[in-house]
Structure 1
Amino acid sequence: MNKIFTLLFLSLLSGVSFAQTVTLRGYTSDRSSGEHLINASVYSSEKLIGTISNNYGFYSLTLPTGKHTLSCSYVGYQAQTIELNLATDTVINFQLSAQQELEEITIIGQQGESKLASSQMSRENITMDKVKSLPAFLGEADIIKTIQLLPGVQSGTEGASGLYVRGGGPDQNLILLDDVPIYNANHLFGFFSVFNPDAIKSVSLYKGGFPARFGGRLSSVVDIRMKDGNSQKLHGNFSIGLISSKLNLEGPLVKDKTTFNFSARRTYADLIARPLIKASSEGEEGGGYFFHDLNMKITHKFSDRSKLYLSAYTGKDRASSKYDYTSNWDNESWRHNDRFHLDWGNTTTALRWNYLITNKLFANTTLTYSNYVFDIEERTSSLNLSTAEKGDSYQLNYKSGIEDLGAKIDFDYYPNPQHRVKFGASYTNHTFKPGIMVHKEKADYTSPIDTTYGNANITAHELYAYIEDNIEISPIFSVNVGLHASAFGVEGKMYGSIQPRLSAKYMANDRLAIKAAYSKMDQYIHLLSTATIELPTDLWLPTTKRIRPQHSHQFALGAVYQVKKGIELSAEGFYKTMDNLLEYKEGASFIGVSTGWEDKVEMGKGWSYGAELLLQKTTGKTTGWLGYTLSWSDRQFENINWGEKFSARYDRRHDLSFVMTHRFSDRFDIGFTWVYGTGNAVTIPTQKVISPQIPNTPYITGGYEYYGERNNYRMPAYHRMDIGFNFHKQKKHGIRTWNVSLYNAYSRQNPFFVYFDNEQTYTSSRKVLKQFSLFPIIPSISYSFKF
């Protein structure tokens, strides 16, 4: 490993130099909106050298003096070519126009830098056009559900928006919204994600070969960027669906200087159900369920060298019930009130300042805030209507969450066309809230109870620094080499980690690239879960004196082959080891505070390995992909399953997805998906053993259920087809779209969970295993208008 970083150092010192050179720099953007384009390619055809723009659209390219033909290109846009004679450092801002010709439209693919050209492997980029064109569950287009259709990614359970990437758990995904971590990315108990596609510009998924700038998780990075807002004129979009409505507005506050982007989404199932509940109840009954999201971003340009970004997100789920009624007891009239609510939500804020220090050095400084809160409360009370005397009352409240304050600085340095260097550092102050319970009770015949107990808050400090360089050693060989160093201080103990990263690409010919990667990752936070679906009761907890950090090693080897223009075939094999994974002990849960949470968990290790294939078409009227994953994922804990290896719950041997969109015309297009997967592993009893203490007890009245190995049974295979139709029409002030979708179009009865039931006959009774299916065929319709 020392040789690798010696090579990195020497390469930086001995990069190709030119007798007389100048630096060309600027920004790449959308001509109509001013939105910056990420990973756009800027290329000199004479010198056969180029670069790509960063996350803020900035690029820098050092060239010899003299005449050059420069091209700027980006997926789905018309390339722009200019000729110039370079004598001094020059600023060129490229503004590209969206492609108009139908055959050239690209909906999904690597944005700017293709898989074939990039040394990065295990990365997929997804555009919002693809997300919105695919059929949607209950009409809600969802970023995470689109990611689930890619090889190496699983959803967990039916309809859920969880992510299980290459054998990892949901806590091992670093989900970033404008550089701020999102800890619970789920709405509706996991059936939708918190990301409103109308507010999002780009999404990148990293499954392996992680660049050094990312850290803190083992399995994946989902890098989500919000739109900056249109700098030219006001635009908007609103939509109405079966369960929610959305509004998006963007435009200039000061033209070409200050822009805004605002999006809001809210469900209204609770508003529709409220009068129905009230009409069917003898008492005053109410409640229901809703969620909402608000996204906001303001961008201000001080100069061509200095820009400020302020972005924020807040979202909340609330499930509640209330029941008010009267009763008569001992010739007195009493009024009773029962209340229950379950709330959870995220709030994030990022303040970022870009500053161009030199033509080759770009700096970005970020201040972040994140707060995830879970709150459950139950209250009952009574009032004597005759005397106004308060009667019995009861209150139980449980709260948990995690709050972060952070600061980071990142640099992009372009010493010459053979090097693109990134380096930076970050600090985060974590406040973990493992759970506080408040219990209050008042009754006539018992002493009042008013107590608070649980686990105290834990403060932790996380730091990291990194450096990475994308080095073009020759026209056919390039590497991305980096180092990520991190530290985590908690309860007077400091953990540290050095994490090398390496990705390499070899061009066997113009159409075939061979790639390899290695990543070491460390994770200082843990998620404890007791349910088969992701619930807000899942607890985020830190590494402590007793609980060590998780860490992993991942190796990947693959190839990318360009079948023809717009069609690529990629294959990757991976092997990953994971240590210090957490599981609840048998019978333990997040409730029950007689002991601390550290006493309720087991630590163990895991393995995952497999192969992924992806054939994708990115141009023309028909676009989409065919993906297949063959994989294994195992776990081992000393005091679980007698210390023997067992299959992880979401170990899935075979996973297949087919995704297609076809545009018949500007007025009509369709989206189609079909997925197949091996059934989830679950634990069921295999036999019943009579209690040895009472050997003569009949079989049907007693005994012990024997389970054998953990996850010893496979549920039936999962498969589903979805289809959606989009009808567009140009109106005077914008474009109207009707979307009609069918989720689970052939109504496959996929298992949500399995259970035992007694099947009775006239002469006998036997226990049979049955399945519960959640979603049959579900039609949906939505209306949207873009202006």
Structure 2
Amino acid sequence: MYHNHHKALNMKKFVLFLLLAISFPAYAQKKAIINGYAESASDKERLTGATVIADPDLGVATNNYGFYSLTLPLGTYKLSCRFVGYKTIIKQIDLKNDTTINFQLPTGIELEEIEVKAKRTDEVSSQLSSLSFLNPAMEEIDRMPVILGERDVLKTLQFQPGIKSARESSAGFNVRGGSNDQNLILLDGVPVYNVNHLFGFFSVFNSDAIKSVSMYKGGIPARYGGRLSSVLDISMKEGNMQEPRGVFSISPVSARMTYEAPIKKDTAAFIVSLRRTLLDIPMFLYQAAIERDGNYGYYFYDFNAKTNWIINNRNRVYLSVYSGKDSQYSNDNRDGTNSKFRYNWGNVTSVFRWNHIFSPKLFSNISAYYSRYQLENLGSTKSAKQKVVFHATSEMQDLALKADFDWYLSPSYTLRFGGKASRMAFAPNIVQMKGDDADITLNEEQKNNSFHVESFVENNLKTGIFSLNLGVRGVTYITGKKTYSYLEPRAALRVQPHTGFSATISYTKMTQFIHLLSNSSLGMPTDLWVASTDEVKPQESRQISAGIEQRFSKYVFGVETYYKWMHDVIRFEEGAVFLSSQDTKWHKNISVGQGRAYGAEFMVKKVQGKLTGMLSYTLAWSERQFNEVNQGRWFPHKYDRRHDISLLGEYRILNNKHREKSISFGFTLQSGNNLSMPDVEYEGIYLPGASENTHGVPDWQQSKQSYDNPNNLKMPVFHHLDLGYNLKRKKQDGKTYTWSFSVYNVYNRMNPWYYYKNPGGQVKQISIFPVIPSVGFKYTF
């Protein structure tokens, strides 16, 4: 015991000595602070991850809001600022006292920027490898091959190792063996709880309104929390402070319009973006032409808006709003009976953000946000004899106040800290049935509220060959009569013994307080968000990852391994019906167990020249264990995919001030998903006004299945090749015209999208994506 105590005292002395050694130079000579912002010269957009360098050993990256701070000894410096896709700015300064310098970078790629491109990941997150942290440029995403002309951030990310789609051409994704609900997805710092349009085929993110994308698969910093597997942080554009600009885009699926302009030049600006499907318009015209007695259709839309105002050099405020909705509807008039059906789901998010500079070294971001996801199912039947109305809703709301601080103590040491207080309200599976003689509401008691209090501290240290991020996140979660408290340590270390080579290791502990109930017996997006309760504990995960990376002038090679432990994960009973006509508490239909995922990711990138791209291979395992399922034995997770090969690239045919031409390509080959086939099938529960003879009764009302052996069908190998051709014309007045031609699934591979059993017990395959050519047009003015 004495020996251990003595060791602990020695460790404390060592840490104290290290801190004193770091801070000692501050007292050895006089210093001054240079701080400011890096922004685009054309529209004053703040640039996240731009690097400001005083000399090879003294530099810093701008934070999420474009702010930087450097503490330097007095003297003369050649200060440079660089960012991918922009020309480097160099300023000569004679540092005598604290100075504010804002960099305004002109657009345009210089030859040196091609070499910088490979270093961008290190500059933004110096403790992580490019396999744990992804920071793709939006202009690269816009040139990748797509399906039906729809640019989609989430689908482009799925070509990265360790990130895979739930189903073919699905926007939902799984990261390193986790479930899709274990990904924290943020839009301007606000959680988005449903990212799917068109039953999962497209995401809710309009690429024309996005400024930047950052994704963490491992080594997640302490400032992020609430999910087990990954963080996807998306930032909207801020609005052009110099001149009005607009973008119009059209594809076979949707039309998009974006407009941004200054409210007051160099002081305030706004941006508005709208996207809507075109699918319902020809369907409506056709039904009107044939004089159909009733109509049916589907549409979705997205609306983004943001404004910001520079109050003075120390203060800037932002207000951003997002609203999106999917709607499927039908109206029928048959035999004197009028039937109406509406199925709607969508998100609303809004955030007010205040950036304040307390001192040249201390930057703060204080925000208040609101996020809501709502699912609504409305049906009515009206005849001369009776009227029956069925209304089912599921809703969650998230209201929060948060504050983050960046304290630049020295060029080699940054301290980040902050906290959040939030209230979440859940109303899952609220069913209301009205008739001539009855008005019944079910499941009201399933409503519940939860409260979260979170805080974090991050220490970012760079000294010599070492880059370290050491942090901890504390979380208290209150629901009903239960209080849960967790401490989440985080650590990421990178060692760079010489130029080009680095080794990384990271450890992350995460906690998740919400659960997504996924029901495989329904074909509609009826997944429900629910909160942890007195009976259902929060989920926990621990992940350790380690890798090496070697960079050359043209190529980057990397390999990373990981192991993830998951505890208190839930599994919703397959075949259970959400919209039951009985009062059924959701936690009665779940199993609680554990999970594990592990694997290795290999990657080679070419980052210079006309041909650029990435080839990757992933070897992975993902398993689950529940005492009540499969006799308590471990079994493969639904998205356990052993092998994955992905190729994504671009060949620049022409690139000058008047024209750009390029060919893009994407290929993926993956082991198939695991699918549960029912062992027993029996009669289901019909909604009011429906029976086995009622026209259009969905399958989930007609039958219910039981699954004794989960994930008992292994789907075949999945693969497809996509090609794209982009032609961009630039006019002298700044207008551009871009034509994009794509072919999805070039060789017409009929990958299975789903399997089912027919009445004879035979397993049948459904494939819905043959070869699909498309064309898209984009006009910038």
Question: How does the TM-score come out when normalised to structure 1?
Answer: 0.90
Aligned-residue offset at 1:392: 1.4
Aligned-residue offset at 1:281: 5.4
Residue from 413, 416, 436 that aligns with 1:419: 413
Which residue in the other structure is 2:696 paired with?
none
> The residue matched to 1:420 in structure 2 has which SS?
strand
Aligned-residue offset at 1:147: 1.1
Aligned residue identity for 2:460: N
Which residue in the other structure is 2:398 paired with?
404
Aligned residue identity for 1:682: L
In 1, Cα distance between the equivalents of 2:515 and 2:496? 40
Which residue in the other structure is 1:571 paired with?
559
Q: Kindly indicate whether residue 290 of structure 2 is the aligned counterpart of residue 302 of structure 1.
A: no
Which residue in the other structure is 1:80 paired with?
89
My pick for the range that moved more, 2-11 or 429-438, is 2-11
In 1, Cα distance between the equivalents of 2:418 and 2:62? 18
> The residue matched to 1:439 in structure 2 has which SS?
strand
Aligned-residue offset at 1:589: 3.1
Aligned-residue offset at 1:336: 2.9
Residue from 218, 226, 230 that aligns with 2:236: 226
Residue from 43, 59, 62 that aligns with 1:53: 62
Aligned residue identity for 2:53: Y
Cα pair distance change 1:182/1:97, threshold 3 Å: same
Which residue in the other structure is 1:742 paired with?
743
Which residue in the other structure is 2:687 paired with?
none
Q: Kindly indicate whether residue 69 of structure 2 is the aligned counterpart of residue 66 of structure 1.
A: no
Cα pair distance change 1:5/1:570, threshold 3 Å: farther
Which residue in the other structure is 1:264 paired with?
274
Q: Kindly indicate whether residue 575 of structure 2 is the aligned counterpart of residue 587 of structure 1.
A: yes
Q: Is the 8 A contact 2:121 2:129 kept in 1?
A: no
> 5+ unaligned residues in a row in structure 2: which ranges?
1-6, 682-704
Cα pair distance change 1:453/1:119, threshold 3 Å: closer
Q: Kindly indicate whether residue 730 of structure 2 is the aligned counterpart of residue 730 of structure 1.
A: yes
Query: CA offsets per residue over residues 595-653 of structure 1, 9 Å max, x none?
Result: 21111111011000001112222333222211211100000001111111100011000
In 1, Cα distance between the equivalents of 2:323 and 2:69? 35
> The residue matched to 1:203 in structure 2 has which SS?
strand
Aligned residue identity for 1:291: F
In 2, Cα distance between the equivalents of 1:7 and 1:269? 66
Q: Kindly indicate whether residue 557 of structure 2 is the aligned counterpart of residue 601 of structure 1.
A: no
In 2, Cα distance between the equivalents of 1:585 and 1:687? 14
Cα pair distance change 1:2/1:684, threshold 3 Å: farther
Aligned-residue offset at 1:15: 2.4
Residue from 516, 536, 543 that aligns with 1:547: 536
Aligned-residue offset at 1:712: 2.7
Q: Is the 8 A contact 2:638 2:673 kept in 1?
A: yes
In 2, Cα distance between the equivalents of 1:567 and 1:355? 40
> 5+ unaligned residues in a row in structure 1: which ranges?
328-334, 384-390, 443-447, 689-704, 759-765
In 2, Cα distance between the equivalents of 1:141 and 1:105? 24
Aligned-residue offset at 1:241: 1.2
Q: Kindly indicate whether residue 720 of structure 2 is the aligned counterpart of residue 720 of structure 1.
A: yes
Residue from 201, 217, 236 that aligns with 1:191: 201
Which residue in the other structure is 1:536 paired with?
525
In 2, Cα distance between the equivalents of 1:342 and 1:597? 21
Q: Is the 8 A contact 1:142 1:195 kept in 2?
A: yes
Cα pair distance change 1:767/1:425, threshold 3 Å: closer
In 1, Cα distance between the equivalents of 2:341 and 2:180? 28
> The residue matched to 2:397 in structure 1 has which SS?
strand
Q: Kindly indicate whether residue 622 of structure 2 is the aligned counterpart of residue 622 of structure 1.
A: no
In 1, Cα distance between the equivalents of 2:305 and 2:589? 40
In 2, Cα distance between the equivalents of 1:527 and 1:6? 47
Q: Is the 8 A contact 1:467 1:484 kept in 2?
A: yes
Which residue in the other structure is 2:643 paired with?
654
Which residue in the other structure is 1:697 paired with?
none
In 2, Cα distance between the equivalents of 1:534 and 1:425? 40
> The residue matched to 1:547 in structure 2 has which SS?
coil
Q: Kindly indicate whether residue 744 of structure 2 is the aligned counterpart of residue 754 of structure 1.
A: no
Aligned-residue offset at 1:684: 3.8
Aligned-residue offset at 1:242: 0.8
Query: CA offsets per residue over residues 423-482 of structure 1, 9 Å max, x none?
Result: 00101110011121011123xxxxx2211111432111011000001111x311121000
Aligned-residue offset at 1:349: 0.4
In 1, Cα distance between the equivalents of 2:261 and 2:17? 47
Aligned-residue offset at 1:776: 0.5
Alignment of 1:353-372 (within 5 A): 353-372=354-373
Cα pair distance change 1:493/1:163, threshold 3 Å: same
Cα pair distance change 1:7/1:236, threshold 3 Å: farther
Which residue in the other structure is 1:91 paired with?
100
In 2, Cα distance between the equivalents of 1:220 and 1:53? 23
Which residue in the other structure is 2:347 paired with?
346
Percentage of identical aligned residues: 38
Q: Is the 8 A contact 1:609 1:633 kept in 2?
A: yes
In 1, Cα distance between the equivalents of 2:387 and 2:521? 34
Q: Is the 8 A contact 2:492 2:506 kept in 1?
A: yes
In 2, Cα distance between the equivalents of 1:770 and 1:324? 34
Which residue in the other structure is 1:499 paired with?
488
In 1, Cα distance between the equivalents of 2:332 and 2:432? 22
In 2, Cα distance between the equivalents of 1:11 and 1:368? 39
Aligned residue identity for 2:560: E
> The residue matched to 1:612 in structure 2 has which SS?
strand
Which residue in the other structure is 2:699 paired with?
none
In 2, Cα distance between the equivalents of 1:723 and 1:137? 10
> The residue matched to 1:138 in structure 2 has which SS?
coil
Aligned-residue offset at 1:163: 1.3
Question: How does the TM-score come out when normalised to structure 2?
Answer: 0.91
Aligned residue identity for 2:415: V
Query: CA offsets per residue over residues 316-366 of structure 1, 9 Å max, x none?
Result: 0000011134x4xxxxxxx43210010001000010000100000001100
In 2, Cα distance between the equivalents of 1:471 and 1:101? 31
> The residue matched to 2:208 in structure 1 has which SS?
helix
Which residue in the other structure is 1:44 paired with?
54
> The residue matched to 1:561 in structure 2 has which SS?
strand
Aligned-residue offset at 1:508: 2.8
Cα pair distance change 1:116/1:176, threshold 3 Å: closer
Q: Is the 8 A contact 1:233 1:252 kept in 2?
A: yes
In 1, Cα distance between the equivalents of 2:116 and 2:461? 29
Cα pair distance change 1:282/1:237, threshold 3 Å: closer
Aligned-residue offset at 1:685: 6.9
Q: Is the 8 A contact 2:611 2:652 kept in 1?
A: yes
Q: Kindly indicate whether residue 545 of structure 2 is the aligned counterpart of residue 556 of structure 1.
A: yes
Cα pair distance change 1:620/1:260, threshold 3 Å: farther
Q: Is the 8 A contact 1:107 1:129 kept in 2?
A: no
Q: Kindly indicate whether residue 41 of structure 2 is the aligned counterpart of residue 31 of structure 1.
A: yes
Cα pair distance change 1:107/1:588, threshold 3 Å: farther
Query: CA offsets per residue over residues 9-34 of structure 1, 9 Å max, x none?
Result: 76555524231000000100111121
Which residue in the other structure is 2:455 paired with?
465
Query: CA offsets per residue over residues 638-695 of structure 1, 9 Å max, x none?
Result: 111111110001100011110011221134212110011001112347999xxxxxxx
Q: Is the 8 A contact 2:521 2:574 kept in 1?
A: no
My pick for the range that moved more, 90-99 or 237-246, is 90-99
Aligned residue identity for 1:435: N
Which residue in the other structure is 2:689 paired with?
none
In 2, Cα distance between the equivalents of 1:687 and 1:438? 30
Aligned residues: 740
Which residue in the other structure is 1:781 paired with?
775
> The residue matched to 2:64 in structure 1 has which SS?
coil
Q: Is the 8 A contact 2:127 2:504 kept in 1?
A: no
My pick for the range that moved more, 595-604 or 659-668, is 659-668
In 2, Cα distance between the equivalents of 1:86 and 1:352? 33
Residue from 130, 137, 155 that aligns with 2:140: 130
- In angstroms, what is the RMSD of aligned CA positions? 2.4
Aligned-residue offset at 1:282: 4.6
> The residue matched to 1:484 in structure 2 has which SS?
strand
